[in-house]
């Protein structure tokens, strides 16, 4: 369980586009062994992508105030790395490093070079001299959403993640089998399996690199583990969970295995979720905030459950089945912990979490601004199906995507962004591409990328 405690945090740490070379220069002075820096972003398919720059070269570019660019493709990829038809091939994308996210990458013993990484915001311009636009940047959308929550409503928001994963090995037939096939569900026996030695190595690396690990335990029926991360401001939380996911996958791969957070790597086994704790302060409008989320929850699933296989988790005690909430009720998609603190269970690690949190928090803001009523009663007291508002959650991604248009305009207004308009057609194109893939190849894509 992730424990959320509110504390003041500086909005400047979520800088819109920090161009000053001073943070990078100070970092390299303190870490002279760093030779390369990964310029990273998360695309609309939830995949972490990067360009690698020599550290000295990046410092020179930053000092000269020159932008780092790429063709206008950074946010146009589907999960199979194809491009959606009709995307604008003109112009450029520009990377804006956010130095608050700069950190060393966990380095396995046999890795020769030392790396650091920094997350970026992405702007675009189509004609030389045109002003740059951040309309398609998921990170900027989240920054804008949190700024609106604070400036308009005086809300502070914290987020913490529970990261579930399995360790698998590839067979000679290019299929995956569980390596950590030990007992789960908090058993001590599960800690004796050799797979847990890899988990310990991952946890030690995360702690050494400044990640707040609150708890570790075996999960599911067999071979599944969970690491709970501490509370952060939303942008910081996303970047910490991305760092944790990459660190876990990197360390495990050095031992010849794969760590996967994919929602359903084995159809006859348990699923992986990314349970998301979120809290607001003050809590006097918590009911209308929750009402806004519940009213839009079927639509929110298009962003938090963004692939066809994500919907294999739409069942009790996983993602939930109906639009409902309950105090300490884990069969609901929204579990209340205390006033103003909830856990969203209908989330998995294939989501672009900048975008998913933008939609989730914007929905809560819309509930506050429209003074929406909390028609849904606490399932801990009444059960799940006692009110007609308890609609079923979508059974497939296409169903969820078809619900987005109703709320698109209000969401994009809250985010001051056009990310929703770009996301939906890209995901619909991607669905067709993935449906056409051979099942084993598709599963390999999910295991390797997520």
Burial environment of residue 223 by CB neighbours within 10 A (0 to 12, 13 to 18, 19 or more): buried
Spans of all domains in the chain: 11-136, 142-449
Name the pTM for this structure: 0.93
- Closest C-alpha among 273, 383, 281 to residue 338: 281
E-state strands within 244-308: 258-260, 274-281
Mean pLDDT value across residues 43-72:
92
Fill in the DSSP letter of residue 232: B
Per-residue model confidence as pLDDT tens digits over 64-107: 887 788 888 999 999 999 998 877 777 889 999 999 999 999 87
pLDDT value of position 90: 78
Q: Using alpha carbons, list the distances in angstroms from residue 266 to 185, 261, 443.
A: 18, 12, 9
pLDDT category at 14 given cuts 50, 70, 90 is: very low
Determine how many CB atoms are found less than 10 A away from the CB of residue 387: 16
pLDDT category at 40 given cuts 50, 70, 90 is: very high
The first and second tokens of residue 127, run together, are: 């004609």
Mean pLDDT value across residues 296-323:
96
Whether the pLDDT of residue 108 is over 90: the answer is no
Fold of 142-449: Creatine Kinase; Chain A, domain 2 (3.30.590)
C-beta of residue 362 within 8 angstroms of C-beta of residue 297: no
Q: What whole-number percentage of the chain has pLDDT above 90?
A: 77
pLDDT value of position 272: 96
Whether the pLDDT of residue 329 is over 90: the answer is yes
CATH architecture of 11-136: Roll (3.10)
Q: What mean pLDDT is reported for the chain?
A: 90
Per-residue model confidence as pLDDT tens digits over 400-427: 999 999 999 999 999 999 999 999 999 9
pLDDT value of position 175: 85
142-449 shares the fold of 11-136? no
């Amino acid at each position: 369980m992730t424990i959320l405690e509110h504390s003041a945090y500086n909005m400047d740490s979520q800088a819109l586009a920090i161009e000053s070379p001073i943070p990078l220069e100070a970092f390299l002075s303190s870490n002279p062994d760093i030779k390369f820096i990964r310029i990273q972003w998360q695309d609309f398919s939830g995949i972490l992508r990067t360009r690698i720059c020599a550290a000295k070269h990046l410092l020179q570019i930053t000092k000269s105030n020159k932008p780092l660019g790429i063709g206008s493709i950074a946010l146009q990829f589907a999960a199979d790395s194809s491009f959606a038809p009709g995307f604008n091939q003109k112009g450029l994308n520009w990377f804006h490093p956010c130095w608050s996210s700069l950190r060393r990458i966990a380095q396995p013993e046999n890795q020769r070079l030392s790396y650091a990484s920094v997350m970026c915001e992405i702007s675009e311009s189509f004609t030389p001299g045109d002003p740059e636009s951040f309309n398609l940047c998921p990170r900027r959308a989240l920054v804008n959403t949190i700024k609106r929550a604070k400036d308009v409503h005086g809300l502070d928001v914290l987020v913490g993640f529970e990261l579930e994963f399995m360790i698998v090995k590839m067979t000679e037939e290019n299929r995956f089998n569980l390596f950590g096939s030990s007992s789960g569900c908090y058993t001590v026996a599960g800690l004796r399996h050799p797979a847990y030695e890899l988990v310990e190595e991952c946890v030690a690396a995360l702690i050494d690199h400044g990640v707040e690990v609150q708890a570790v335990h075996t999960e599911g029926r067999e071979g599944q583990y969970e690491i709970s991360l501490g509370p952060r401001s939303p942008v910081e939380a996303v970047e910490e969970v991305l760092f944790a996911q990459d660190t876990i996958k990197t360390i495990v791969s050095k031992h010849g295995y794969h760590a996967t957070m994919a929602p359903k790597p084995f159809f006859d086994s348990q699923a992986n979720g990314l349970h998301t704790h979120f809290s607001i302060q003050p809590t006097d409008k918590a009911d209308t905030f929750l009402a806004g989320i519940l009213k839009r929850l079927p639509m929110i699933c298009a962003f938090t459950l963004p692939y066809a296989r994500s919907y294999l988790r739409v069942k009790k005690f996983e993602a939930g089945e109906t639009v409902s909430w309950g105090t300490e009720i884990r069969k609901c998609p929204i579990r209340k912990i205390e006033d103003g603190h909830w856990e969203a269970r209908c989330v998995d690690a294939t989501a672009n979490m900048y975008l998913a949190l933008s939609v989730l928090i914007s929905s809560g803001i819309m509930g506050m601004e429209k003074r929406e009523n909390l028609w849904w009663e606490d399932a801990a007291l009444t059960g799940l199906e006692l009110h007609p508002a308890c609609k079923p959650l979508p059974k497939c991604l296409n169903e969820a995507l078809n619900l987005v248009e109703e709320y698109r305009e209000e969401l994009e207004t809250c985010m001051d962004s056009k990310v929703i308009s770009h996301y939906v057609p890209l995901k619909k194109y991607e669905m067709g591409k993935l449906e056409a893939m051979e099942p084993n190849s598709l599963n390999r894509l999910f295991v390797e990328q997520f």
